[in-house]
Amino acid sequence: MIHGIIPVNKPCGLSSAKAVARVKHILHVKKAGHTGTLDPEATGLLVCGINKGTKLSRFLLNGTKTYSAGIHLGIETDTLDASGRVVNTCDTDTTEIITKERVLQTLEQFIGQISQEPPVYSALKHKGQPLYRLARAGTPVVKPPRDVKIFNIRLVEMMLPLITIEVHCTAGTYIRSLARDIGRHLGCGAHLSALCRTECCGLTLKEAVSLADLEAMDRKTAQAQVVSLTDSLPDMPLIQADDKLMETIKFGREIKIRDYPQLGQELHKSPFLRICDRDRALAAIVEYNKARDRFKYSCVFAG
C-alpha cells in the first residue's frame, strides 16, 4: 500500500469531496481525504491524504495558507462571491474614487490579528446543518466573529474595478469575508471574483498535479506522484532516530527529553517533531509537553 499525501491542482466548478473521490479512484487506494476544503468555484492546491497519510490531516488543516484572490470592487453579493445575487452596488464609478494609494493603505489595515465574520454561505455548521443549506432555505444564520491572522497582503494587480491580491494567513480565514471587508473599508463594496490557493504548510501549487494529468497516467506513474509520509510536512523539523529511540517508539514508551537531548535542539522551531528511522521512513510525530518535560505521541506509524 502507498501512504502519504498528493498535492492536487483542483479545477473550478468541482467540490473538494468530488476531487478526492476522483483521486481515490485514479490511485486505486482504500482511503483518501482532503486536508482543507476549497469552495467549488475556487481553484488551486488541494492536499489529499492517502491511506495512513490521512493521519496528517490535523497538521495540514491548521497550517498557514497563501491565496491569490481577485476582488471586484463596487458590487456586493449575498454569497460574497461571483456566484451570488447582487445585493448592493456603488453609485459612484469606482475608477473615480479608488486610487492605488487608497488600496494599499486599506490592505495594510488588515495585516495582523483581525476579527472576521464568517459568510452565511459556508460549510460551518449550526445545529448540525451547514450554513449554506440554511441560507438557501431562506433562514440564514450569522455566526459570531472569530479571530484570524493575516501575515501579509500584497497588491499584485490593479485594473479597476478589479484588483488582485496575494494573502498569507492562518487556517480558517475566509477570503470571501476579507474581500467584502476590503470593499466596505474603501466605501464601495466588493465581492470575491476569483480564488486560487497557492501554498499550504510549505507545499506549493507548483508541486501539484492536475486531475486531468493524473487521469492520463498509468496507475504506477500516478501512484509515484504521492509524497511520502516523511516528506509530507516539510515545515516540521525532522529527526533521524537511532536504534534506542526507534525501540522506544515501537513499544510506545515515554520519550523523555533528558534521554534524547538531540530532540530538544529543534524545539525552538516547533513543538512538533517528525521522527524517522534510518531508512527515512516516518516512525512518529511527537509533541513536546513543557510541563512534564517529555514528548507525547501525536501520530505513530512504526510498529
Query: So which residues are the catalytic ones?
Result: 39
Using CA atoms, how far apart are residues 115 and 174, in angstroms rounded to an integer?
Answer: 11
State the amino acid at position 27 in one-letter form.
Answer: L
C-alpha grid cell, residue 95 = 475608477
Task: List, in sequence order, every residue forming a beta bridge with 76; answer none if it has no partner.
Answer: 88
CA distance 239 to 287: 13
Question: How many Cα atoms sit within 13 Å of 251 on the Cβ side?
Answer: 8
Q: Which residue has the cell 431562506?
A: 138
Residue 97 has phi, psi (to 5 degrees) of: -110, -15
**Non-local CB neighbours of 161 within 8 Å, separated by 6+ positions:** 72, 73, 74, 75, 94, 95
Return the number of other C-beta atoms located less than 10 Å from residue 145's C-beta.
12
Which amino acid, 62?
N
Look up residue 283 and give its amino acid: A
Cβ-based neighbour number of residue 238 at 10 Å: 15
SS3 (DSSP) at 48: strand
Asked if residues 186 and 73 have their Cβ atoms less than 8 Å apart, the reply is yes
